[in-house]
Amino acid sequence: MTLEELRAKVREWDRQSIGSATATSHYECLLNQFDYHAVREWRVYLPAEDPDFAPSYLERLAAWIGNVDDERDQKLLLEYASCISFFSHDDFAALYSTALNLAVIPWVAEHCGVDLSAGIDKFQAKLRREIHCKTWFCPVTDSMDINEFYKVNHLTGIGHRPGFATLQMLAEKAGAPSPGIAADLTAYMANPSLNPVQPAPPLQRLVLLEDVVGSGTQCIDAVTWAVANLNVPVLFVPLILCPNGASTLSDEVARWGGRLTVHPIIELRRTDLLGPERQGQQGWPIPKEAIEDLATRCASRASVNMEIFGYRQTGCSLVTFSNTPDNTLPIVHNRSRSGNWEPLFPRVHRD
On the question of pLDDT at 19 being above 90, the answer is no
- Expressed in angstroms, the distance from the first to the final Cα of the chain is 30
The pLDDT tens digits for 227-280 are 999 999 999 999 999 999 999 999 999 999 899 999 999 999 999 999 999 999
Q: Residue 344 above 90 pLDDT?
A: yes
326 Cβ contact list (under 8 Å, min separation 6):
214, 306, 310, 311, 347, 349
- Segment 11-22 shows an average pLDDT of 75
Contacts made by residues 185-188, CB under 8 angstroms, sequence distance 24+ = 185/229, 185/230, 186/229, 186/230, 186/231, 188/160
pLDDT at position 20 over 70: no
Which tens digit of pLDDT belongs to each residue from 279-300? 999 989 999 999 999 999 999 9
Q: Average pLDDT in the 216-229 region? A: 94
Helix (H) or strand (E) holding 319: strand 318-320
Compute and round to an integer the Cα radius of gyration of the chain: 23
198 burial (CB, 10 Å; 0-12 / 13-18 / 19+) is exposed
* 113 pLDDT higher than 60: yes
Is the pLDDT score of 115 beyond 90?
no
Kindly report, residue by residue over 138-164, the tens digit of the pLDDT. Answer: 999 999 999 999 999 999 878 899 999
Read off the pLDDT of each residue in 161-169 and give the average, rounded to a whole number.
96
What's the pLDDT score for residue 82?
96
Average per-residue pLDDT for the chain: 92
pTM: 0.93
What single-letter amino acid sits at 195?
N
Q: Which pLDDT score, from 0 to 100, does residue 196 have?
A: 72
- Average pLDDT over every residue of 201-212: 96
Where residue 24 falls among pLDDT bands split at 50, 70, 90? Answer: low
pLDDT tens digit sequence for 93-108: 999 999 999 999 999 9
